[in-house]
Amino acid sequence: MISAMQAVFVGRHHELVELRAGLEDAATGRGRFFLIVGEAGIGKTRLVEELAREAAERGHLVVWGRCWEGEGAPPYWPWIQVIRACLPRVADAAGAPYLAQLVPELGGLQAPALPVPPQSEHARFYLFDAVATFLRSRPDHTPLVLVFDDLQWADTPSLLLLQFLVHELRDTAMLVVATYRAMEARQNPHLAEILGALARDGRHLPLSGFGEGEVALFIEGKTGRSAAPALGQAVHRETEGNPFFVDEVVHLLVAEGALERRDETVARRLPVPQGVREAIRRRLAPLPAPCRDALTCASVVGREFGLGALQRACRLGADALLE
C-alpha cells in the first residue's frame, strides 16, 4: 500500500560528515555556515531535516526560517519566523525596540514597536546587530541550529541580514545552514551576487542525483522489497537520480503493481507520474515562450544532440537558439 510507504534517507554520506563536523564545531563555540545548493527535488531540505533530527536528539535548538515563493510576504519573513521561534526561551530580549520592527509582539517588553522595518543603511545596521545579539545572548546557551530554506525566494533585506550574521558567527554556538536552487539563483544577477558572497564566508555543498545503488536502496527502503536490477537501472536513467522524481516514479510503480512483476517490459516503459509533469511545468513556466518551444523540440530530439539537429527541428538559426 502506498499509505504504508515510509520516508527514507539514502546516501549523502560525505555531505552529512561535513555537516556533522560543523555541528560539533558549533557545540564547542565555533560557529559555522553551510550553503546547500542543487536543483528542485534534489534533496536539499531532506538532507537538512536529517541533520536537524540529529541536532535535536543532542539537545540543540533547531529553528527554521522558510522563504515564501508567492507574493505578500513581509520583508524579513524568514527572520520573523526565527525570532518568534526563539522568543519562548528569552525572558528579556536584547535589542527589543529594534526587533519589534519585525516582531510587533516584542514591543511590550521594553519599548513601543517602531512602525516599519528600517530603510536607511544606518538604521538597518542597528537592526542587524540587534538580531545577531538576540540570537547570541539566549540565557540557556543551548547550541543553536538555524536553517533557512529556499533562499532563492528570499527578499534582499533578509539575505543581507544573513550575510551580517554569518560575519558574526565566530566564537558563537551557532550552526547556520541555508539551501537554494541554482537555476533560479542564476536567473537573478543580484541574488546570485549575494549568494556568491555568502558562499565565500562558508562551506558550499552542491548536491547531485542518486547513483544507481542509491536508487536501489531508496526503492527497497521505501517499499520494503528490492526491485529487479533492470528496473532500478531504468529508474535511475530516466530520473537521473533526482530523489523527488525517483519517489514519484516509485509511488506510481507501487500503485500499478509493477514492482511485483519481474519482467523487462516495465523497465522499458516507465510511466511519467503526474507530480513529475507538474514539477516540470512549474520549472518551465517562468521561461520565455521561444525558450519553452526550443526545449519542447529538444525533448523530442533526445538527451544528447548537436546544435545543428536542434536548429533543423526548431527551424531557427544558431544565434536565436543560443540567446
Which of the 8 DSSP states describes residue 91? S
Distances 226 to 15, 79, 255, 264 between C-alpha atoms, Å: 26, 43, 16, 15
- Residue written as grid cell 561535513: 18
Residue 180, CA distances (Å) to 39, 177, 264 in order: 8, 10, 38
The predicted-structure confidence for 76-126, as pLDDT tens digits, reads as follows 999 999 999 987 666 555 667 778 888 877 665 444 444 455 667 888 898
Q: Is the pTM of this model over 0.85?
A: no
Residue 282 in any domain: the answer is no
Number of domains making up the chain: 3
* 271 and 296 share one domain: no
* Residue 287 grid coordinates: 521561461
C-alpha cell at 152: 532563492
Question: What DSSP assignment string belongs to 57-75?
Answer: HTT-EEEEEEPP-SS-PPT
pLDDT digits (tens, 9 = 90+) for 55-81: 999 999 999 999 998 888 889 999 999
CATH number reported for the structural domain that contains residue 84 in this entry: 3.40.50.300
On whether both 229 and 190 belong to a single domain, the answer is no
Q: Considering only CA atoms, which of 90, 91, 89, 109 is closest in space to residue 100?
A: 109
In this structure, the answer to whether residues 11 and 80 fall within a common structural domain is yes
| Residue 302 φ then ψ, to 5° | 135, 180
Alpha-carbon distance of 292 to 123, in angstroms, equals 44
Residue 294 structural domain: 287-322
